[in-house]
Structure 1
Amino acid sequence: MEMTSKSVVAKGSVEILQIYKLLQYVREKNKPLIEKMVQMGWSNLINMTEPKQGLGALYQASVDHDEDLVQFLLSLKAHPDIQDKKGCTPVMLAAQLGYYKIVYLLIKHRANVTLTDEEGKGLLFYCISPSKEHALCLQMALSSNANVNNVSNSGKPLLVFACENAKDCEDLCIRILEKGADPNAVDQLTRCSALMEAAKAGIVKLIRVILQKGGNPNLLDQEGRCAAHFAAEGGFLEVLQVLSAYSADLGFSTSKGKTPLHFAAAGGFTECCRFLAQRGCNPKLKNLEGLLPSQVAKNNGQKAALKALKKAEKMHVKLSAPDAVNPNELWAVTLHDWSCEHEGTLRRAFETLGLDKPVEKVSLETFVSVLNVHRAPVSNENLQRIVKEHDKKLESVINVNEFFKGLKYLQKAFVISSYAPKPAKKKKGGKEKKSAKTATPLPMCTMPPELICRREDTDSAWYIDDPEKIYTNINYCVKTGDLDSLRLAFTQQVPVDIKDQFFKTPLMTACSCGKYQVAKFLISLRADVNAVDQFNWTPLHHACHAGHVDIIEMLVQSRAVVDAVAMNGETPLMRAIESCWFSCVEYLLKTGAKVNAENKRALGETAHHQSTAH
């Protein structure tokens, strides 16, 4: 029988019994009985799937992260492309879980990396996750020519999906772009582009790569928003500067009449307001609610932004006069932004052979030639104006340092250097003066290089679709140590941090019950070691209360917060002391737990007081 990527679902009673028996042997890792069943059982049994979920032998071995067993099954001619009921192949599953060695084995045995599941998602969709293991899976898939322009059935391109997770997966996005992904990929439902998603997150490096690959900064989503709107909303000044350098139109209005200035004003991002007004965003445009950006800033209590916008309004009115002369024309500002963005490349082009130090002056001919070769956003007429400002002595020599400063043709307040952070000034009395509100990109989320599963809903239970549906509580599986059921649940994309009616996550339950292997398994699936219940107890609080020092050690090594504070102010150390677990107290003290933390009891007890009392 010729093997294909289509699943061979067991139908007859004998086939069904045999496939379940084979799956049992696979879970038990019983190679002799597996080989015997494959040889003597139903024809092509090794490539059959059970009728409920569509699980097969190779799929089960991949779930179990058993490289040796996967290799064994492949040697018995297991087909690497058998799909389950949702169209997921073993290599997709392995990639989703970050099992890069199994991904390698399957690709080595010619797993088809271009197959898609029932949602139209290919292998690369399963590789998007913030861990080193997933990065390795992605690299192997890309090296095998997986489709970087895969679009799901819902109309979401791979690159857009990756950029939605740009805060944690920036390098993965860049690798996909370097392999030929369309930089102008757009979600067909929302019309949101990869560049817009990167702008939402404020990831400058990724934005640069998208633009360098030909990304259009002026694409609009279904609400008329462009990348500049999202950058302004997040207060990402550097993103706006990069967009301006690539000739983005910063003055677009959304379907609700909001310009990027309205978004920056609402957030109180003063420097963004100043930059946008200088780069062509009209401060006198009202939104559909009849509000100017300055009025939006005022309504949101953003005084510094209001002041900057009022200043911009006065300048706009002044320049609107019939005989007004603009000393900072938009083309000149754009050229300056472009030159600053590409300064390194331009300086290398200006250099001549034989010089060991950076070039300060170049000939007029070289200057014009380099700017033309690198497609500077300036007309020949305006370029001559730039030359005239830099060569007033008619020596046919241009000082490139002066050109990059921009002060020969722009006022000081308009050049990029004017946006550099200034040292904090001190008032009389030594108190530092608070600077105007600016945005700081959110910190990158540091996650253990392990596994991750995703799910969109928040069901509190998963089920096995038997003739009579049997609902199994996740935390019951934790208490009984049923790893097989937990593993199956999570492969069905039940959230690893799902909470029960008592607001306890599976990891909290494992810590309370002393289920070390279960806790280890959950942490490997990227369970949140700092999740909190209704009393703000973390898993570490629960482990300390129950006295499981081995689990405490594992939690701390997995970056659990040692001095996490519960609702009543108690730390894990206090829980360990109250429960009289000396070994736990000793370990926490060695890790640097604070002994002077104070709870919220009437006496304001510290861990030191508690230990003394006990």
Structure 2
Amino acid sequence: MSESVAQDRLQLLQTYRLLQWIRNDNQAEVERILDLGVKGLINLTAPQDGMGALHLAVSLNRSELVDFLLSRRALPDIQDNLGRTPVMLAVEVGNLPMVTRLVQNQADMKLLDGEGKGVLFYCSLPTQSHTSCLQVALENGADVNNVSADGVHVFQQMCEKAPECTPQCLIMVEAGADPSAVNKNTGMTALMAAVKAGSLELVRAILRRGGNPNVMDQNRLTAVHYAAMVGCTETIQVLSAYSADMGEIDFTGATPLHYAAATGNTSCCKFLAQRGCNPKLKNLEGLLPRQIAKDSGHKAAAMELRKAEKQQGKSSSESSDASPTSALWALTLHDWSHECQADLQRAFGDASHAVDVCTFTSVLQELKAPVDLDQLGKVVSAHDTNTQGCIDLDDFLKGAKYIQKAFLLSSYMPKKEKAAKGAEGGKKKKEKSKSFLPPICIMPIEKMPRRPDGGPPYFMIEKYFKGPDGWCPDKPDKVYVNINDCVKNGDLKSLELAFSQGVPVDVQDEYYDSPLMTACCSGRLQMVQYLLSCGADVNLTDQLFWTPLHHAAHAGHTAIAELLIQAGASVNARTLCGGTPLMGAIQSCRPSCVELLINAGANVNAKANSGQNCVDFAVQFSGPEVINLVKLKMASLPEAKAAAKGKGGKNQTPKSAKKKVAK
């Protein structure tokens, strides 16, 4: 690297002066000191933190200054004491325009910081801007399989943050991320992290790319163990389709069935037992899964496990090739055909119903079905009983001709769907209305259920199921949903529907958090813009008197804070503990957010109920950059200048001191 740390006194003073002019956004003074200063001043860094001119301009979002510095040959790959480059700082806050500027000036996306982390490690935040930065970084050579010095794979780390970061993880998969990525410290794979986070879409993507579901972490836990912990039957079904071993035992002697029993998920227990997990195995504490379910108060799961214990060892006869079976290979094939149904139909093309045996066999082999030729012959025999050389694809996908009925995936369908399907051939007692009803309906605000504590209500979504006469509204599946969850998930359609049905835009949950507060603390800029356009109150407070600006500042979301201030948010609002948004921004260590609030009129002399002022918070939580910002603002106040004159008779303010250094 050609950059260097300021060494002698002159270099040091001019470096700090240059950084100060950048903080003040004074391009004229920046240009003057670069013209008259020491050689290479533009690429000198402060010894304390390694901060250079370009670092500071990027972190403060000084677009014009960044362009000017780059035009004056500022090195785009200069690194601070932590090894961070300007593009890493821009990506960390999701500043896409700044990232684009640096890329256009040949910023190296393959550089690593002091911990061995590349730029992609700074992209793993659940915002659209961070997703866009990720795409730009990948397009310009960022290492999609970067592993940090302590053994953390960037893709595996992103998967741990799913489902918030699911879109970013899917982009990483498409860009060639290793599906077997693992955290070397814990042994947890990307697949395990996706399963644990409950992101089914990401689980499917990793498995399709070759992720191994049978890898164990340092505790001998597999992806199936983690799926059983969260009680997700659908995830376990997908893992089964890719030949996951359901009966692995961890260091505590527990199988996935022990964990499923603890959650009380009956269908999960049933599926695991059917797919090869022994319900009669005891863990190291001597407990059967059934005993765990019983002790946890899950009676239905305990009854299902009792049935599984009785069925253990009673496998179906394999003497006849044409008879339905419950053999493990057949169940795996059935699960695979269900998971790869779209691929099968695409491969068979127009032959969507009857296909000849040769085509059927070759397609399954080409798609790498989890079955050998002998087993495939048994499947063919079960379907082609008349030896006509044809197989009905629909019958194969249903699985009823070669799988026992109780083991079919259709047996796990909700009873309502079964009843709706069964009613298609029956007689209609009463003609129902043919009018269309939407699949989602919001209960009016005046009919919403109140909480026992008298707090604000949840809004209720009624989900209609599709019957023989269209959408059936007579027996809706009622689900109570926190409206703030819709904000966190970016579910704009549900919000629009809720507001159109009378739900107030400032409805508050049990903690009196409004949708705008939730959007501010979760960093959803587009959601904030939408809620403000709907008339959301920017100065509404929660139970601790936090306003939306408090939430945005404490989370360090500068763009959102700026939007709130423009909408009339009070920059000096106080919480129950006397905290201001500026104190929250100081705690988040975001210089750009701190400077924004100071420029907007935030009181730097404000004190919390504890007696601490902004300087105290800066010293406790932030670095020298934030401390200097607060101190400079305090020194520029009239009372501070008056005090300085009274003490020394001379006005030795920071500005006058700077003039002396310049001379």
State the TM-score, normalizing by the size of structure 1: 0.70
CA contact (8 A) 1:58 1:80 kept: yes
Q: Which residue of 2 aligns with 1:388?
A: 381
Aligned counterparts, 1:185-196, within 5 A: 185-196=181-192
Match of residue 609 from structure 1: none
Q: 1:124 to 1:425 in 2, by over 3 A?
A: closer
Relative contact order higher in (CA < 8 Å, ≥ 6 apart): 1
- 1:422 is displaced (CA, Å) by 2.3
Question: Separation in 2 of the partners of 1:298 and 1:282?
Answer: 17
CA distance in 1, matches of 2:132, 2:161: 17
Q: What corresponds to 1:337 in structure 2?
A: 335
2:394 maps to a residue whose letter is N
The question of whether the paired residues in 1 share the 8 Å contact of 2:91 and 2:130 is answered with yes
Counterpart of 2:275? 279
Match of 2:602 in 1: none
Residue 54 of structure 1: how far off its partner (Å): 1.4
- Contact 1:132/1:449 (CA < 8 Å) preserved in 2? no
Structure 1, residues 56-100: CA drift from partner, whole Å, max 9, x if none?
Answer: 111111111122221111011111111111111110000000101
CA drift at 1:367: 1.0
1:401 has 2:421 as partner? no
Q: Any idea what the Cα deviations from partners look like across 1:277-321, whole Å, max 9, x if unmatched? A: 111111111111011110110111111111111111110054499
Structure 1: distance between partners of 2:104 and 2:129: 17
1:417 aligns with 2:410: yes
Q: Does 1:211 align with 2:195?
A: no
Alignment counterpart, residue 131 of structure 1, candidates 127, 131, 134: 127
SS in 2 for 1:272: helix
Query: CA 1:503/1:417 → structure 2, altered by over 3 Å: closer, same or farther?
Result: farther
Q: How does 1:440-519 map to 2 (within 5 A)?
A: 445-446=489-490, 448=519, 506-507=580-581
Deviation at 1:18, TM superposition (A): 0.5
d(CA) in 2 for partners of 1:68, 1:451: 29
Distance of aligned partners of 1:332 and 1:425 in 2 relative to their CA distance in 1, 3 Å threshold: closer
Change (3 A) 1:219 1:271: same
SS at match of 1:305: helix
The Cα of 1:393 is off from its aligned counterpart by: 1.0
**Please, which of 98, 106, 109 is the counterpart of residue 110 of structure 1?**
106
Over 3 Å counting, the alpha-carbon distance change for 1:177 and 1:361 in structure 2 is same
2:221 is the counterpart of 1:228:
no
Choose from 69, 92, 96 the match for 1:96. 92
Q: Distance in 1 between matches of 2:64 and 2:169?
A: 32
Structure 1 unaligned regions, length at least 5? 353-357, 436-441, 454-474, 491-499, 512-516, 523-532, 535-614
> 1:150 and 1:228 mapped to 2: Cα distance?
27
* Pair 1:210–1:449, CA change in 2 (3 A): farther
SS of aligned partner of 2:355: strand
- Correspondence for 1:146: 142
Letter in 1 for 2:354: K
- Among 311, 315, 320, which residue is 2:307 paired with? 311
The residue that corresponds to 2:344 in the other structure is 346
Is residue 2:33 matched to residue 1:58?
A: no
1:147 to 1:246, Cα distance in 2 relative to 1, 3 A: same
Runs of at least 4 residues off by over 6 Å: 320-323, 431-435, 449-453, 508-511, 517-520
Report the 3-state secondary structure (helix = DSSP H, G, I; strand = E; otherwise coil) of the residue aligned with 1:168: coil
Shift of 1:449: 9.0
Q: Distance in 1 between matches of 2:477 and 2:140?
A: 54
C-alpha displacement of 1:505: 6.1
Shift of residue 145, structure 1, vs aligned partner:
1.0
Which residue in 2 is equivalent to 1:557?
none
**1:549-593: CA deviation from partner (whole Å, max 9, x where unpaired):** xxxxxxxxxxxxxxxxxxxxxxxxxxxxxxxxxxxxxxxxxxxxx
2:22–2:30 Cα contact (<8 Å) kept: yes
8 Å contact kept, 2:54–2:66: yes
1:241 maps to amino acid: Q
What SS does the aligned partner of 1:180 have? coil
CA-CA distance at 1:413 after TM superposition:
2.0
2:401 is aligned with what amino acid?
A: K
Which segment is superposed worse, 222-231 or 312-321?
312-321
- For 1:390 and 1:404, the matched residues in 2 are separated by 11
- Summarize deviations over 1:153-174 as a string: whole Å, max 9, x none: 1110001111011111111111
- Contact preservation (8 Å) 1:425, 1:432: no
Instruction: Say if 1:320 and 1:300 are closer, same or farther in 2 by CA, change over 3 A.
Output: farther
- 1:70 matched residue in structure 2: 66
Contact 2:261-2:292 within 8 A present in 1 as well: yes
Partner Cα distance (2:73, 2:348) in 1: 61
How many residues align? The count is: 463
Decide whether aligned partners of structure 1 residues 251 and 52 sit closer, same or farther in structure 2, where only a CA change above 3 A counts. same
Take 1:445 and 1:520, find their aligned partners in 2: how far apart are those partners?
Answer: 30
Quick one: which of 169, 175, 195 aligns to 1:173?
Answer: 169
Aligned identity (percent) is: 44
Q: Is the 8 A contact 2:169 2:202 kept in 1?
A: yes
Is the 1:278–1:414 Cα contact (8 Å) retained in structure 2? yes
Following superposition, the deviation at residue 506 of structure 1 comes to 4.9
Equivalent residue number for residue 14 of structure 2: 18
Mark the CA change 1:386 to 1:295 in structure 2 (over 3 Å): closer, same or farther.
Answer: same
Q: Residues 167 and 434 from structure 1, CA distance in 2 versus in 1: closer, same or farther, beyond 3 angstroms?
A: closer
Aligned pairs (5 A) from 1:217-296: 217-296=213-292
Report the alpha carbon displacement of residue 518 of structure 1 after superposing the two structures with TM: 6.8
Q: Counterparts of 1:86 and 1:249 in 2: how far apart (Å)? A: 43
- Other structure's SS at 1:362 match: strand
CA contact (8 A) 2:324 2:382 kept: no
Deviations 1:232-266 (A, max 9, x none): 10011111111000111111010111111011100
Pick closer, same or farther for the CA change 1:163–1:115 going to 2, 3 Å.
same
Distance in 2, matches of 1:16 and 1:145, equals 35
Deviations 1:119-156 (A, max 9, x none): 11110000111111101110110000101111111110
Q: How far off its partner does 1:369 sit?
A: 1.4
**Aligned equivalents of 1:41, 1:233: Cα separation in 2:** 63
2:269–2:301 CA contact under 8 A, matched in 1: yes
Question: Residues 432 and 510 from structure 1, CA distance in 2 versus in 1: closer, same or farther, beyond 3 angstroms?
Answer: same
Q: Structure 1 pair 315/284, CA: closer, same or farther in 2 (3 Å)?
A: same
Match of 2:370 among 363, 373, 377: 377
**What is the CA distance between 1:423 and its match in structure 2?**
2.1
> Cα distance, 1:377 vs. partner?
0.9
Aligned equivalent of 2:626: none
Distance in 2, Cα, partners of 1:351 & 1:308: 41
SS, match of residue 130 in structure 2: helix
What's the CA shift for 1:507? 3.7
Distance 1:320 1:405 in 2: 19
User: AA paired with 2:90?
Assistant: A
Where structure 2 has 5 or more consecutive residues not aligned to the other structure, the ranges are: 420-473, 479-484, 491-517, 525-545, 562-573, 586-591, 598-607, 610-663
Residue 346 of structure 1 aligns to which amino acid in structure 2? L
Contact 1:98 1:450 in 2 (8 A): no
Matched, 1:156 2:156: no
TM-score, scaled to structure 2: 0.65
Measured against aligned partners, the alpha-carbon deviations of 1:359-382 in whole angstroms (never above 9, x if no partner) come to: 211111111111111111111111
Aligned equivalents of 1:403, 1:57: Cα separation in 2: 67
